[in-house]
Structure 1
Amino acid sequence: MSLQNTFNVLLIGAGEINFGSVEGPWNHTKRLEQKLGSRLRVVGLVDLDQTKARAVIDEKKALIKDSYDSTEVFESIASAAEGLKGARLPQLAILGIPPQFRGQSSSGRDAELALIKAFPSISLFCEKPVTTGPIERIAEAQSVRDSLGKHAGKGVVGVGYMLRYLKACADIKDILRENNLTVMATNARYTMAYEYAVKLGWWDKSQSQGPIIEQATHFADLSRFFGGEVDLKSVSARTVEHDTSAGSLGKKGFDEEKIDAANRIPRITAAVWQYESGAVGTLMHSVALHDATYDTEIEIIADGYRLKLVDPYNAPVLYIRRPGLAGEEVRRYDQDDPFYSEISAMIDAVESGSSDGLLSTFDDALRTYEFTWAIRKAGEAVKP
């Protein structure tokens, strides 16, 4: 195969986001392989854990030699810039590292800025949320957005809000457009099964920033996707805190006493807001279920219509009530893979030079991040 037909990818992170795990569906290399086939060339992998990085590449080489045979392992973006030149320059970098190391301007947390400096024409695919950290870092993320905006025309930038790429979400958009509907309200529910969540950092707001920012971000984003821009000043919220009788949990598999009381996460967050269109939105995030199965759904209300998307992560089902329909129409999407769809759209954008097919840009994803912080702060402002 001609080198002109190959597609060069630089992977940032040797963990489950890029290489998968038994616990979840994230696995960007799998989708790159599906999309590009023999065209794929993973030219480099950046990870501080060199042993782990070499191990995952060796596993890939044994299965897909051409795509990984010449993959170099680097401990930093700067060293990757030194090692990847000429025909080995990456066209796309996949940022599969924790959000505290990207989306900011300070050294060690500035992966996007480091990449566009090292590779001036590179495109970026960033995981979500765009960053995490104290609320003051929103200003840093805005600075990164501005720098990436200047990068437009050299490379495209997409963010992995994969639920936007569900076929069910495309169907909802089509129904709204084809029937000339204006959304009146959105109602999202995210009920977490917490029994096997034992990493202390997730339960510590000083590390994970709390469940709205770290976990419910997908549903805050879908709310914006369907409802439009949020008037952040209108956001209000109430919480059930850890130190109330209603917030007592009986299936914790860790010692919460190791976390400072001020940093323990709320068990329930219930938020309401107004969209700039005048529509209203609600979101309830709950840390409540036992076992391992979550319960998630989002509902969109318009004149004469109720569109309810249930279990979008695993087995999406869309329930449609419309004028003249007795009962509900039910659409199931058992074979849909939004992770493939978002990677496919990203590759197409890189090769066309246009971000028109991307459903989540950095600027748009940053507005979701700002929105989730507004919910957290609104909940913290009112104490029982």
Structure 2
Amino acid sequence: MSSSRSPSRRNSIDISQLQPMHRVHQSAGVGDFNVVFVGAGNIMFGSDEGPWNHSFRFEHKLGPRLKVVAVIDPAVERARAVLAQKCETFVRSAYEHTQVYKNLAEFVQHMTPNMAPRAFVIGSPPMFRGTTNPGRDIELQILKHFPGVALFIEKPVATGPKEELVQAFKVSEEIKKSGATCSVGYMLRYLRAVQMMKQIIEENNLTVMATIARYAAAYEAIAKLDWWDKSKSAGPIIEQGTHFCDLSRYFGGDVDISSVVAHSLEWDEPAGKLSKQKIDESQVAPENRISRVTSATWKYESGAVGTFTHLTALQGHDYSCELEVYADGYQLKLVNPYVAPILYVRRPGSDHEETHQFSEDDPFFSEVSVLIDNIEDIEEDPETAQILSSFEDAVKTYELTWAIREAAERSRAARK
């Protein structure tokens, strides 16, 4: 049953429940837990580029109960190579019988009853999902062939043309109507620091006045040419800044999309020249080259104000990211959420900033843990944490990122 049907659950999680993997007991359920992985890339199986690796978290949450019955990816040989590596490790039992299929239809055709999945983990590139178009409608196909089976879907929910946004909302409606448990991978919502911010707001009955977000990327380490081509990646606001637009919405609420305004610094302006690109940007058509800076403001439906600035500006490896949330008498400032989160809190009656550091936090594991607890929560125990990002909520974040990109492009066109 969908967690959204349990109104007794809080919209935040007690931070004592969010623990690193080595402190969390494996799932208390019984029997095999069958999973299908859609996509065999870095998101699913990890790489040196970042901490994402969904298979790793499922292995630790489910232990020997995990059975990956299928991996679906058109790059069949790559998928088989990854599985061969897994079978050489202590998690062999999860993968030794895994089958590889080029697409969902092939899996449906060959699936046997003992392969029936309890969850699909969708980590295929976002340009191939999140719509109602044949071949890019994996969510709807799963709902059709596997009604009621849970979904975990990576962010952003899609990166197609703006005109397809209405389709993403249709997919959201179908998922909601199905009643299937569904979680989208906005993992920063599961940070202990973020949940402490939520707790402070709830306990003090605060109304958010403003959110201020900043995301500065270290471009020197970004060697994937498609990332620099917004016709392929949709641009850094949609593909990368989405996490901070989502966090902003998590605190500020729904956005008045008509209020979004933005300005950008472009590659062909004097201040937009970059000296340490690892790629040859001349291979990207000029009209598809990404902005160096995008700065946006908007109004929330509550009346609060939101701002977001994304920069492709830093060199080296580490990014620089911050989110500030303001309410009457309160300043909550989240710093370095991807690596070593620190929360600074200023409260009424004092100019002093409290400092809270959160070591050993793994929001990737927390989101997977919460998902599985919801799937296995037959009795709808109110102590089970609520899934923090529904598909509908994720589509609203996608809508905001598109609005920011379009507003910046309109501003640029007006300057010419």
Match in the other structure for 2:229: 204
Q: Which amino acid aligns with 1:365?
A: A
Q: Which amino acid aligns with 2:239?
A: E
Q: How many residues align?
A: 380
Q: Distance in 2 between matches of 1:356 and 1:82?
A: 36
Match in the other structure for 1:26: 52
Residue 356 of structure 1: CA displacement? 6.9
Q: Distance in 1 between matches of 2:149 and 2:88?
A: 28
Q: Distance in 1 between matches of 2:131 and 2:281?
A: 30
Q: Which amino acid aligns with 1:370?
A: E
Match in the other structure for 2:299: 274
Q: Distance in 2 between matches of 1:198 and 1:23?
A: 11
Residue 6 of structure 1: CA displacement? 1.4
Pick the aligned partner of 2:396 from 358, 367, 371: 367
1:15-164 → structure 2 map (5 Å cutoff): 15-63=41-89, 64-152=91-179, 155-164=180-189
Query: How high is the sequence identity, in percent, across the aligned residues?
Result: 51
Match in the other structure for 1:378: 407
1:190-339 → structure 2 map (5 Å cutoff): 190-339=215-364
Please state whether the residue corresponding to 2:202 is helix, strand or coil: helix
Residue 326 of structure 1: CA displacement? 4.9
Q: What's the TM-score once normalised by structure 2's chain length?
A: 0.89
Q: Distance in 2 between matches of 1:380 and 1:341?
A: 37
Residue 4 of structure 1: CA displacement? 5.7
Does structure 2 retain, via aligned residues, the 8 Å contact 1:84–1:90? no
Please state whether the residue corresponding to 1:148 is helix, strand or coil: helix
Please state whether the residue corresponding to 2:411 is helix, strand or coil: coil
Partner deviation per Cα, 1:216-261 (whole Å, 9 max, x = no partner): 0000000000011111111100111111101111111222122111
Q: Distance in 1 between matches of 2:43 and 2:136?
A: 18
Residue 198 of structure 1: CA displacement? 2.2
Please state whether the residue corresponding to 2:356 is helix, strand or coil: strand
Partner deviation per Cα, 1:341-366 (whole Å, 9 max, x = no partner): 00011111212266971000000000
Please state whether the residue corresponding to 1:239 is helix, strand or coil: strand
Residue 200 of structure 1: CA displacement? 1.8
- Return 325-334 or 354-363, whichever deviates more: 354-363
RMSD: 1.5
Q: Which amino acid aligns with 2:290?
A: I
Partner deviation per Cα, 1:46-93 (whole Å, 9 max, x = no partner): 111111111111211221122112111111111111222322200100
Q: Which amino acid aligns with 2:127?
A: Q
Unaligned runs of 5+ in 2: 1-28
Match in the other structure for 1:176: 201
Partner deviation per Cα, 1:321-374 (whole Å, 9 max, x = no partner): 112345211111111100000001111121226697100000000000001011
Q: Which amino acid aligns with 2:61?
A: K
Match in the other structure for 1:14: 40
Does structure 2 retain, via aligned residues, the 8 Å contact 1:298–1:308? yes
Does structure 1 retain, via aligned residues, the 8 Å contact 2:33–2:65? yes
Residue 118 of structure 1: CA displacement? 2.4
Does structure 2 retain, via aligned residues, the 8 Å contact 1:132–1:209? yes
Does structure 1 retain, via aligned residues, the 8 Å contact 2:46–2:53? yes
Q: Distance in 1 between matches of 2:295 and 2:197?
A: 24
Partner deviation per Cα, 1:83-127 (whole Å, 9 max, x = no partner): 223222001000011101110111221111122222223211000
- Return 253-262 or 121-130, whichever deviates more: 253-262
Q: Distance in 1 between matches of 2:314 and 2:214?
A: 13
Does structure 2 retain, via aligned residues, the 8 Å contact 1:270–1:282? yes
Q: Distance in 1 between matches of 2:408 and 2:129?
A: 26
Unaligned runs of 5+ in 1: none
Q: Distance in 2 between matches of 1:158 and 1:324?
A: 39
